[in-house]
A and B are shown apart, each in its own frame.
Chain A
Amino acid sequence: MKERGKKIQYREAVRQAIIEAMEKDERVFLMGEDVGRYGGAYAVSLGLLEQFGQERIIDTPLCESSFVGAGIGAALGGMRPIVEVMTVNFSLLALDQIMNNAATYLHMSGGQYNVPLVIRMATGGGRQIAAQHSHSLEGMYAHIPGIKVVTPATLQDARGMLWTALEDPDPVLIFEYAGLYNTEGELSEDAGAVDIDKCKVMRSGKDITIIAYGGTLSKAFEAADLLSRDGIDCEVIDLRVLRPLDEDTFLSSVSKTHRALIVDEGWRSGSISAEISARIIEKAFYELDVPVERICSAEVPMPYSKHMEQAALPQVDDIVKSVRRIVNKDE
């Protein structure tokens, strides 16, 4: 019997995960901009300074490259840091440390130095904060061998991915979709660690596979609900892990439904959706009844005004229309 869940916000699920990790392992600490006295830019770490003290909840100056680099050094030195970068856009200031150090040390040192570091950051658009705070660059990070990239889109994953990431001997980047922090749902009291190497079939269906992640997952669900009224049966996959890609799961789904639509808030060119599409074409081409399709963000810097921003982002309506067209193509 599944224990009855309790209403909880996404940000609380992340907070619980941090608290659990801090309590379980004294090597774990949290550092980042405004994580302590402010309580976290998205209020994720609210109250943690009071609970754990400033030795373990560390407010950093605004120096992404160096506090991420310090996280790498601390990980090498035997600690298990959780580094919070306020948003993915700011993480570009630390890209050198992530890509040239965290991702390379193990290989470059011939297996001598692994970097057990977790970096959390907010990602995604839809909040009218324009072109320097709204992009979804996790697909870009997924390009880099040596790191793992995960995107918790559900309360279970927000609660459960952190501990597994901390147990991982290598750097793990956790992308929290900022639009989800306020969302609420039920989470079982005994929710805990979940895997960070598989994607997950969230809704079983036979007509089409919709692959989504992060902020697009809930849109895929909504579209699937609407489409079911027309008798279109969508299978919805939460990608969950952008690197390494669990292709077996989505390939077998596509082999069942023979149609695939990928919904990605990243830009289309060179995106994770491009990679998934390529893998489907490389490995399941003859299973397809129709070409793979993608819905991505418009290839523009994110505009501020609401109508323009909404037009730039993948929407439920786009998914519904695309699925109808794809499913009816071969009929």
Chain B
Amino acid sequence: MNRKTKRTSGSKKTGNNKMTVRSEREHDLHLFKQMWRIRQFEEKAAELYGKMKIRGFLHLYIGEEAVATGVTEVLTGDDNMVATYREHGYALLRGIPSGSVMAEMYGKKEGCCLGRGGSMHLFDVNARLFGGNAIVGGGLPVAVGLALADKMQGNDRITCCIFGDGAVAEGEFHESMNLASLWELPVLFICENNLYAMGTAIRFTHAVTDLASRAVAYNVQSSFVDGMDVIAVEEAVRKAAGVVRKERVPYFLECRTYRFRAHSMFDSDRYRSKDEIEEWKKRDPVETFREFLLKNKHADKKDINKIEKEVSGEIEEAVSFAESGTWEPIEDLTKYVYSEKGVK
């Protein structure tokens, strides 16, 4: 864990625009809690998948928690976010109630999308979350358009676009970087480079594996950061988002991370070695941060236990909320193919 600058941590809290000034200790505990929330939510989702409560595709974020945590910490509730199919963590941290996310994965009506989107398609108007996009690269042009709308309307928000290393190979990445740069649009491009496009390692998919360097071709500022270190991610995102917010231009930040679990629940993980996974697990963003907190006396065991207890309670509640949810009536199947009359 490497803290470059001493901070008395001020951070804009997701969900509103109020500045929540926290001490460094409080802030660190908050970061830990956010990562722990994702981790526990994901572990529970995997368990529920095994119990057939959740079906379809389920893409776990375990191992990558520092990225979503560092990113959302910096955004304001008014900023836009376009995410990928591995977006449970973003949905939680953008402020969608965990019960609503869990219910969505159960396919229940109480889910944030009435159970119509499922794990891969979490949308929420209040969180300004524009999906969960499950077409790799498909969200990038949409993010460009959202930023274009803000520019045209003189809004000061930024649009944060999440995608993986796989998307960097798609044409949409290149087209969108070009458009965002050409039109000077406030898009924060966050690449979660977890080294695998599904089951194919980056060395087999990219001629240039230093993804941050790609931005040069589009005259877009860029940098990379250790995506296993939440403090480093937060700092890097703060800098990147600062550029986007102030200069009203795009920025490309590559977060180098690793997914501990298989791509999805159908993946038997044949394409990488156990040793490699174990090696990365030594850098577990949640565990290393816990150790850091204890070592630096930012937290004692009691603090951690308290957080763990709170989070367990939250997850338990989320599950029971989902369990007690209802099914959308079949008569509503064709509702929302088109807007109801009067909607503009």
CB contacts (< 8 Å) of B175 on chain A: these are 61, 63, 65-67
Asked if residues A73 and B141 are in contact (CB atoms below 8 Å), the reply is yes
Name which residue of chain B comes closest to A66, CB basis. Answer: B175
Asked if residues A96 and B135 are in contact (CB atoms below 8 Å), the reply is yes
A288 part of interface (Cβ distance < 8 Å)? no
B253 part of interface (Cβ distance < 8 Å)? no
A191 part of interface (Cβ distance < 8 Å)? no
Asked if residues A106 and B148 are in contact (CB atoms below 8 Å), the reply is no
B205 part of interface (Cβ distance < 8 Å)? no
Contact with B along A82-111 (1 / 0, CB 8 A): 000000000000001100110001111111
Q: How far is the CB of B277 from chain A (nearest CB, A)?
A: 32
Asked if residues A63 and B123 are in contact (CB atoms below 8 Å), the reply is no
B79 part of interface (Cβ distance < 8 Å)? no
A81 CA to B141 CA in the complex, in Å? 14
A63 CA to B175 CA in the complex, in Å? 6
Compute the total of residue contacts between A and B using a CB distance below 8 Å.
151
A284 part of interface (Cβ distance < 8 Å)? no
CB contacts (< 8 Å) of B113 on chain A: these are 108-110, 112
A192 part of interface (Cβ distance < 8 Å)? no
- CB within 8 Å of A: which B138-177 residues: 138, 140-150, 152-153, 171-172, 175-176
CB contacts (< 8 Å) of A55 on chain B: these are 152
CB contacts (< 8 Å) of B148 on chain A: these are 70, 73-74, 77, 79
Asked if residues B112 and A73 are in contact (CB atoms below 8 Å), the reply is no
Residue of A66, A96, A105, A145 with highest tally of chain B CB at under 10 A = A66
Asked if residues A61 and B117 are in contact (CB atoms below 8 Å), the reply is no
Asked if residues A66 and B335 are in contact (CB atoms below 8 Å), the reply is no
B265 part of interface (Cβ distance < 8 Å)? no
Give the contacting residue for A76; candidates B146, B152, B335, B343; CB below 8 A.
B146
A68 CA to B116 CA in the complex, in Å? 24
- CB within 8 Å of A: which B96-155 residues: 111-117, 121, 123-125, 130-131, 133, 135, 138, 140-150, 152-153
Give the contacting residue for B142; candidates A72, A109, A110; CB below 8 A.
A72
Asked if residues B141 and A69 are in contact (CB atoms below 8 Å), the reply is yes
**Contact-size category for B:** 35 or more
CB contacts (< 8 Å) of B112 on chain A: these are 110
Q: How far is the CB of A135 from chain B (nearest CB, A)?
A: 22
Give the contacting residue for A101; candidates B124, B133, B182; CB below 8 A.
B133
CB contacts (< 8 Å) of B111 on chain A: these are 110
A67 CA to B179 CA in the complex, in Å? 8
B338 part of interface (Cβ distance < 8 Å)? yes
A244 CA to B334 CA in the complex, in Å? 13
B204 part of interface (Cβ distance < 8 Å)? no
Q: How far is the CB of A166 from chain B (nearest CB, A)?
A: 10
Asked if residues B121 and A109 are in contact (CB atoms below 8 Å), the reply is yes
B266 part of interface (Cβ distance < 8 Å)? no
B339 part of interface (Cβ distance < 8 Å)? yes
A71 part of interface (Cβ distance < 8 Å)? yes
A170 part of interface (Cβ distance < 8 Å)? yes
Decide: A107 near B337, CB < 8 A? Known: A73-B146, A113-B123. yes
B288 part of interface (Cβ distance < 8 Å)? no
Name which residue of chain A comes closest to B135, CB basis. Answer: A100
Asked if residues A61 and B178 are in contact (CB atoms below 8 Å), the reply is yes
A146 part of interface (Cβ distance < 8 Å)? yes
Asked if residues A106 and B121 are in contact (CB atoms below 8 Å), the reply is no
CB contacts (< 8 Å) of A69 on chain B: these are 138, 140-142, 144-145, 172, 176
Give the contacting residue for B171; candidates A65, A81, A113, A169; CB below 8 A.
A65
B344 part of interface (Cβ distance < 8 Å)? yes
A96 CA to B144 CA in the complex, in Å? 16
Name which residue of chain A comes closest to B130, CB basis. Answer: A76
A70 CA to B82 CA in the complex, in Å? 13
Decide: A101 near B337, CB < 8 A? Known: A29-B152, A69-B144, A70-B148. no
Name which residue of chain A comes closest to B339, CB basis. Answer: A169
Asked if residues A111 and B149 are in contact (CB atoms below 8 Å), the reply is no
Asked if residues B124 and A106 are in contact (CB atoms below 8 Å), the reply is no
CB contacts (< 8 Å) of A273 on chain B: these are none
Give the contacting residue for A63; candidates B80, B124, B125, B178; CB below 8 A.
B178
CB contacts (< 8 Å) of A186 on chain B: these are none
CB contacts (< 8 Å) of A148 on chain B: these are 338
Residue of B115, B116, B117, B338 with highest tally of chain A CB at under 10 A = B338
Decide: A73 near B145, CB < 8 A? Known: A29-B152, A100-B138, A108-B123. yes
A170 CA to B150 CA in the complex, in Å? 20
Asked if residues A170 and B179 are in contact (CB atoms below 8 Å), the reply is no
CB contacts (< 8 Å) of A65 on chain B: these are 141, 171-172, 175
Q: How far is the CB of A243 from chain B (nearest CB, A)?
A: 10
A255 CA to B131 CA in the complex, in Å? 47
A114 part of interface (Cβ distance < 8 Å)? yes
Asked if residues B130 and A74 are in contact (CB atoms below 8 Å), the reply is no
A199 CA to B314 CA in the complex, in Å? 55
A214 part of interface (Cβ distance < 8 Å)? no
CB contacts (< 8 Å) of A81 on chain B: these are 145
A65 CA to B144 CA in the complex, in Å? 12
Decide: A77 near B149, CB < 8 A? Known: A66-B175, A106-B338, A110-B113. yes
| Interface, chain B (partner A; CB < 8 A) | 80, 82, 111-117, 121, 123-125, 130-131, 133, 135, 138, 140-150, 152-153, 171-172, 175-176, 178-179, 182, 335-339, 343-344
A-B contact pairs, 8 of them (CB 8 A): A65-B141, A65-B175, A76-B145, A77-B153, A81-B145, A97-B142, A107-B116, A109-B116
Q: Ordered nearest first, which 7 A-B pairs have the shortest CB separation?
A: A73-B145, A69-B141, A77-B149, A110-B114, A66-B175, A109-B123, A70-B145
Known contacts A29-B152, A110-B117, A111-B336; can you find 12 more A-B pairs with CB under 8 A? A63-B175, A66-B172, A70-B142, A70-B145, A71-B145, A73-B82, A74-B145, A74-B152, A77-B150, A106-B336, A113-B130, A145-B337
| Interface, chain A (partner B; CB < 8 A) | 29, 55, 60-61, 63, 65-79, 81, 96-97, 100-101, 105-114, 116, 145-146, 148, 167, 169-170, 244
